[in-house]
Amino acid sequence: MNEPPVEKGEKERFELLNRRIVRCTRCPRLRQYCREVAVKKRRAYLNWDYWGKPVPNFGDPSAELLVVGLAPAAHGANRTGRMFTGDRSGDWLFRALHRAGFASQPDSRHHDDGLILINCAITAVCHCAPPKNKPTGEELRKCVDWLIRLLEIIPARVCIALGRIAWSWTWRALRARGEVTHSEPPFRHGAEVLLCSGRYLLASYHPSQQNTFTGRLTEPMFQHVFDRARDLLRTPCSGNGAFPSG
């Protein structure tokens, strides 16, 4: 008698999803650009063996906090192979996560530096580094399926979208899963939406140099969003805490 199939746990599903992301070839332009950057390199990183492929999700498969960025930086995550690792945006992000209790250390320079995310995972709406940090709408449409699948695995009670594009495409992913029933709210730093599924979606300006060097985003502004996520997670979950299945 055949035994019924055993459902994979969150960790196994998370790792399987990551393997599929790394093998993805849906966007030839992006794959070519990632490879070109990995060959040409930046002078400061000539001795690095660049990752040069789609960058997988990073963190705790059972996380209650999910951080959604735009895309890997050409000489950041495309070099190190880990989301937000090795660039100035990551410096801001990991400091904020560490202060709020979601990261074991305040910085991250390479894949094996010992950083551990605590009850947190990091992803992006585009998993390949795009030229000029600008993926096309079609490339984002092809990649959003990975975010939808991730939301099926991670029981995140709070999602933080970094930037307007991450906000919009995270909203689309949540809508595809049936977790929102109304139109997308306007993006603004500090926006907070309680979804019909029980998740919260928070918004922050992206910690890009364009925002941080100009003062549009300050560290107290950025930190407030992560402290708010921590406080929301300290509040008992209403209902059974389950989200719609894909």
pLDDT digits (tens, 9 = 90+) for 90-106: 999 999 999 999 999 99
109 or 159, higher pLDDT: 159
pLDDT value, residue 5: 43
> Any bridge partners for residue 202, and if so which?
160, 192
- Greatest C-alpha distance within the chain: 67
What CATH number does the domain containing 218 carry? Answer: 3.40.470.10
How many Cβ atoms are within 10 Å of 31's Cβ, its own excluded? 16
Spell out where the chain has E strands: 58-59, 65-69, 120-124, 158-162, 192-194, 200-204
Domain coverage including residue 198:
10-233
| Residue range 176-189: mean pLDDT, rounded | 95
Q: Is there a domain that residue 240 lies in?
A: no
Per-chain mean pLDDT for the chain: 93
Q: Is there a domain that residue 4 lies in?
A: no
For residue 8, pLDDT over 60 is answered with yes
CA angle 48, 22, 134 (to 5 degrees): 75
pLDDT value, residue 236: 78
Rounded to whole angstroms, what are the CA distances from 115 to 20, 78, 111? 24, 18, 8
The helix/strand/coil state of 65 is strand
> Any bridge partners for residue 192, and if so which?
202
Q: Is there a domain that residue 68 lies in?
A: yes
> Any bridge partners for residue 160, and if so which?
67, 202
Kindly indicate the confidence band of residue 6, based on its pLDDT and cuts at 50, 70 and 90. Answer: very low
- Residue 58, phi then psi, degrees to nearest 5: -135, 135
CA distance 15 to 56: 9
Q: Is there a domain that residue 245 lies in?
A: no
| Residue range 115-134: mean pLDDT, rounded | 97
Helix 137-153 vs helix 10-23: crossing angle, to nearest 10: 160
CA distance 177 to 69: 19
- CA 27 from chain center: how many Å? 19
pLDDT value, residue 238: 57
Q: Is there a domain that residue 179 lies in?
A: yes
Number of domains the chain is built from: 1
Rounded to whole angstroms, what are the CA distances from 92 to 67, 75, 95, 210? 13, 16, 5, 13
Kindly indicate the confidence band of residue 242, based on its pLDDT and cuts at 50, 70 and 90. Answer: low
For residue 153, pLDDT over 60 is answered with yes
Helix (H) or strand (E) holding 53: none
For residue 167, pLDDT over 90 is answered with yes
Burial of 122 (0-12, 13-18, 19+ CB in 10 A): buried
For residue 54, pLDDT over 50 is answered with yes
Q: Is there a domain that residue 171 lies in?
A: yes
Q: Is there a domain that residue 241 lies in?
A: no
pLDDT value, residue 168: 98
